Structure 1
Amino acid sequence: MTDLKQLKTDFVEELLPVYDKAEVLTMFSWLAEDLLGLRTHDLLLNTKMELKESQLLKFEEAKSRLKAQEPIQYILGYAEFFGLKLKVNSKVLIPRPETEELVQWILEDHLSKDLQLSIIDLGTGSGCIPIALARHLPQAKIKALDISEEALSLAASNSEENGTQIEFIQANVLELETLPEVDIVVSNPPYVKFDEQQQMKDNVLKNEPHLALFVQNEDPLIFYRKIAELASSAVKKPLVYVEINQYLAQETEDLFKRFGFEHIEIRKDFRGNERMLKAY
């Protein structure tokens, strides 16, 4: 019989050629909690625990998928975001820590004001942004839009499981003629140029939806132009919060200026990259 200590030793040894050790250990902890119901302290106290054949098979399957560089969030079927547990699959991007910082910025600006805000999220994916905002701004009226029917279905399920009320709309952002009257527009649109692919890891390139990631090299700001156009032409000009391509921060700022936004702030993420912009 294989005990927990041997399982961990084999897991680390087989995945070290693909990932660094800290990442392997983190993935082992996540799988142990999800598949075995063991938390970190349990792993330390139960090294001699013998595992059932069914448990070993599940670990072997997960290990094989990790070797093929499938993201662990897709293997588990969920991701953590802003303290929430959200279902994810290959039809949506895995929520990122940088996007948590975008949500935090909005909350910093509005949490203490006790306003009945109206918000729209353009390109919602898993629903991570509007669901996190709804949990912290329960009085807000929030809409979320995406072109993908599969993404919207998943986002609606995530919203229900996290007890939030959000109106989901299927539409192509680039084909919108007007926006609903809202106080805030938020978006994490596609912004990675195709020629930046060589900088990305295979686990992203081979698994996450390219529709939500990439834009054409010759027009990388296409979504920001549309967002700026829609927001600037609204009867009541909303605040705009967007996640941006760190290599195009200045170009994105200039674009919003051309659409008449006088106040623009760019923030760096926890890695020191210029990844967020607010315009009004």
Structure 2
Amino acid sequence: MMLRDIQGIYHKELDAIYGPDEVDSFFYWLIEHYFKFNRLTIALDPQLVLTKTEEQPLFEALSRLKNQEPIQHIIGETEFLGLPFKVNRHTLIPRPETEELVQWIINCHSERSEASQLKILDIGTGTGCIAISLAKQLPKAQVFALDVSEEALKIAQQNAALNNVEVTFLKANVLNKAECLSVLEAASKFDIIVSNPPYVRQLEKKEMKKNVLDYEPDLALFVADDNPLVFYRAITQLAVDMLQPNGQLFFEINQYLGAEMQQMVKTYPFKHIALRQDMFGKDRMLKAEKY
């Protein structure tokens, strides 16, 4: 079958779900992944024919997209700040707002990192995208990453190797402070602690799409409606013990809970608490400095 005819089938089957622009994006992503073709390939060779064997992965991907499985899971990878990352059902797919958080840290510390070795801890690392990107952009930094999920840590370790950086990965439950302190004891104090913990309240599920609800891990997404800051409070308490004086705490946060986050952090020995909006004007990041 001609490649452009398969593209037509994609539009017929998927436009009602995703819209034509996103369907084109998926199709070009897949032909790049499977065949190293780009969007010019069809334009320059509109009669290009695939064999039955070559067609098979495209039609398998089509079936999975009809079930609203994330394209990143279908091809097994994504990109974050220009770096490749493996993903699967045990990890969140990295988001653009998390890229903004990492860039904020880099902008705050690139000069300082040249002068002295920063020690950084990423809590709830998932794919490792935050820790690995920081290790790549701040090459003199010593980076540690913590997660409760054994499966997520396996992917994160693969991603560190894929991107040729050194990150020390540790397993612990951040809601168990004693366990975390024991695991981190040898690391001593940190200059930066950063986290993108679970923050979506159960009441917000109705705003979310099937591709997230059905395919990304609940463990990394959801918190109880009556205790939405549970992870932030635990991490802030840990940061009181594990940050150097004047060390910085960075969070990605729930867009609806910016004021509550500021108020919570103020109850601990932190100063210069700053809330930052993402590219869409939503309260999405918070920075605080330990006394």
| TM-score of the two chains, using structure 2 as the length reference | 0.93
Distance 2:271 2:85 in 1: 36
Alpha-carbon distance between aligned partners in 2 of 1:46 and 1:275, rounded to the nearest angstrom? 44
Question: Quick one: distance in 2 between partners of 1:157 and 1:220?
Answer: 31
Which residues in structure 2 correspond to 1:169-188 (within 5 Å)? Answer: 169-177=170-178, 178=181, 180-188=188-196
Instruction: Quote the Cα distance in structure 1 between the aligned partners of 2:275 and 2:99.
Output: 16
Amino acid at match of 1:88: V
**Identity over the aligned pairs, expressed in percent?**
46
User: What do the CA deviations read for 1:230-258 (whole angstroms, capped 9, x no partner)?
Assistant: 11234724200110000001000100001
Question: Which residue identity lines up with residue 209 of structure 1 in the other structure?
Answer: P
Aligned to 1:271: 280
Root-mean-square deviation over aligned CA pairs: 1.1
More divergent stretch after superposition (270-279 vs 234-243):
234-243
Q: Give 2:204's match in structure 1, choosing from 196, 214, 224.
A: 196
Name the structure 2 match of 1:144: 145
Unpaired stretches in structure 1, ≥5 consecutive residues: none
Q: Does 1:207 align with 2:215?
A: yes
**Of 195, 209, 226, the match for 2:234:** 226
C-alpha distance in 1 between matches for 2:243 and 2:93? 34
Quote how far apart the aligned CAs of 1:17 are.
1.4
Measure, in 1, the Cα distance between the counterparts of 2:283 and 2:155: 30
Letter in 1 for 2:227: D
Q: Which stretch has the larger CA shift, 239-248 or 35-44?
A: 35-44
1:172-194: CA deviations, max 9, x gaps? 01112335410000000000001
3-state SS of 1:173 partner: coil
Secondary structure in structure 1 of the residue aligned to 2:276: strand
Gaps of 5+ in 2: none
Note if contact 1:118-1:183 (Cα within 8 Å) is conserved in structure 2.
yes
Q: Deviations over 1:66-102 (max 9, x none)?
A: 0000000000000110101100000000000000000
Q: Which residue of structure 2 aligns with residue 160 of structure 1?
A: 161
What amino acid is aligned across from residue 63 of structure 1 in structure 2?
L
The residue type equivalent to 2:18 in the other structure is Y
TM-score (norm 1): 0.97
Cα 1:77–1:235 shift into 2, 3 Å: closer
Partners of 1:4 and 1:46 within 8 A in 2: no
State the AA in 2 paired with 1:277: L
> Is the alpha carbon distance of 1:74 and 1:262 closer, same or farther for their aligned partners in structure 2, counting shifts above 3 Å?
same
Q: Is the 8 A contact 2:118 2:141 kept in 1?
A: yes
Q: Which amino acid aligns with 1:231?
A: A
Give the structure 2 partner of residue 84 of structure 1: 83
**Corresponding position of 2:224:** 216
In 2, are the aligned partners of 1:126 and 1:151 still within 8 Å (CA)?
A: yes
Change in Cα spacing, 1:112 to 1:127, as seen in structure 2 (3 Å) is same
Question: Partners of 1:122 and 1:265 in 2: how far apart?
Answer: 20
Where do 1:40-189 residues align within 5 Å? 40-113=39-112, 114=114, 115-177=116-178, 178=181, 180-189=188-197
Whether the 8 Å CA contact 1:11–1:63 is kept in 2: the answer is yes
